[in-house]
Amino acid sequence: MRKMRKLLLTLLASTLTSVATSGVDSKSGWMIYEPDLPECLKK
């Protein structure tokens, strides 16, 4: 019974880690984004 519980918890942790990583990867494009500076801030 303990082996089954450990296996299920490991599987759940792996699945949640994969879901969290895929969510972060798709949102990491903001690091590349560079907005245009307004003319009044350019010197």
Q: What pLDDT does 38 receive? A: 87
- Six-digit token string for 15: 């699945």
Confidence at residue 36, expressed as pLDDT on a 0 to 100 scale: 83
Task: Give me the pLDDT at residue 8, please.
Answer: 97
pLDDT at 29: 58
The pLDDT value recorded for residue 5 is 97
* pLDDT tens per residue across all 43 residues of the chain: 999 999 999 999 999 998 887 766 555 555 666 778 888 887 6
> CA 24 to CA 4: how far, in whole Å?
30
